[in-house]
Amino acid sequence: MDDEAYDELVRSVTPRESVGGVKTYQNTVAMACPACEEPFDDLVVCEDEYSSLELSKMLDLCVTTHEGDVLLFTHKP
């Protein structure tokens, strides 16, 4: 993902939490996922080399990267 697309994405979503190199954002504007073109529910940005995610519900995930960070787009089935 290029810098312009990433900046637009982060400006458009609502920050929720930042803990241990993982930032979460909620998609409150029905923005389309860059991978599948469907609106996503949440964006999870993993900034550290290693991260552990504990999911409490079933989610479909789309993935991309930006400057070494992993971006996860969640979709509730």
Per-residue pLDDT reduced to its tens digit, 24-67: 999 999 999 999 999 999 999 998 888 887 777 788 999 999 99
Question: Per the structure block, which two tokens stand in for 15?
Answer: 């920050």
Secondary structure of residue 12 in the 3-state scheme: helix
> pTM for the complete prediction?
0.86
Q: What is the per-residue pLDDT for 67?
A: 93
CA distance 61 to 1: 16
Domain membership of residue 67 as a residue range = 3-75
pLDDT in tens, 8-17: 999 999 999 9
Domains in the chain: how many in total? 1
Burial class (CB in 10 A: 0-12, 13-18, 19+), 25: buried
